[in-house]
Amino acid sequence: MSTFLNQANIKPGINNNVFAQLKARANKMKPADKLCILIFDEMSLKANITYNESKDLVVGFVNNGRETKPEFADHAQVFMIRGLLRKYKQPVAYTFAQAATKGPELALQIKTIIENLQETGFNVVATVCDQGTNNRNALNLLLNETRVHILRSGQEVREETKLIIINDKKIVPLYDPPHLLKGIRNNLLEKNLRYTSDNIEKTAKWNHIKQLHEENPAYKGIRLVPKLSDSHVDPMRTKMKVKFASQVFSRTVSSTMGYLADFNFLTCSEHKDKLISKKDIDSDEDVMQCKAKKYFKRCFKRKN
């Protein structure tokens, strides 16, 4: 495997060989199978400089595919496409950066990769990433660029329109659902959530989760919320793990909290104003992906 990888000539940025293979593959695919999502994420690397004898090249510097800078790279940005209706995934590009890829540079990379994917025949309908600062900056830059394009064409910009347009193709920027769950949990740790349900203003608090854990409800020695632990209630040490956020917002915790509040087993009557209920949201990741897939299917059926 190492010998094979050493022989592969895959450079940072846009690789013509990769996109040539994608184009050949796209020519054999149905239009619906070409619908895909561009996923991108960044990972940390240990800064290191090495000499590649076979390519007579020193690697380990910042490289975005267009230029190499005399700076040590300690982050890698990876881009991958995943089929929307057909099951496939394929890495398409990567770059090296120092500290992290800045918003303007990342926006340029996203746009360039999408344009090249469109030339190969693939139809990118959405992007997915986490809520990192640079990711949000890059998406905002692309959204602002789209607004400018709409204004120059003489059309009206609607506030509710949150789409990126590249070569007259609409692309929906999405955030990764697991990170959204963590974001909700992290905000709830420090702030109360006020919302309206059935025309009644209610308040959800992290203290509700704490009181449920302290009550530790059980029936004949069997805990009703067995997965709710100290790590869920005080998640500072496990803040990056998605499962602790999704399990707090699970059906089991929601239904148990509601049941105990209805029968006044919990001291705080506000437990009835729980944040998540099984009829409002399903935290199971597979169900969320299934709902998203069905949503896009309905959109493209209406469009066609």
Q: Grade residue 304 by pLDDT with cuts at 50, 70 and 90.
A: very low
Instruction: Give dist(CA 143, CA 139) in Å, integer.
Output: 6
Report the half-sphere exposure of 35 (CA within 13 A, side-chain side).
17
SS3 219: strand
What percentage of residues in the chain have a pLDDT greater than 70? Answer: 83
171: which residues sit within 8 A by CB, 6+ positions away?
Answer: 114, 124, 125, 126, 127, 163, 164, 165
pLDDT of 167-188, one tens digit each? 989 999 999 988 888 888 888 8
Q: Grade residue 112 by pLDDT with cuts at 50, 70 and 90.
A: very high
Looking at residue 24, its pLDDT comes to: 93
Task: Taking the CA atoms of 76, 142, 160 and 201 in sequence, report the sign of the dihedral they define.
Answer: positive
pLDDT of 219-245, one tens digit each? 677 787 877 888 888 877 777 788 888
Helices (H), 95-132: 103-120
Mean pLDDT of the 210-221 span: 77
- Identify the helix (H) or strand (E) that includes residue 175: strand 169-175
- What is the reported pTM? 0.77
Looking at residue 12, its pLDDT comes to: 87
Looking at residue 297, its pLDDT comes to: 54
What percentage of residues in the chain have a pLDDT greater than 90? Answer: 35
Residue 13 carries which DSSP code? S
Mean pLDDT of the 95-119 span: 93
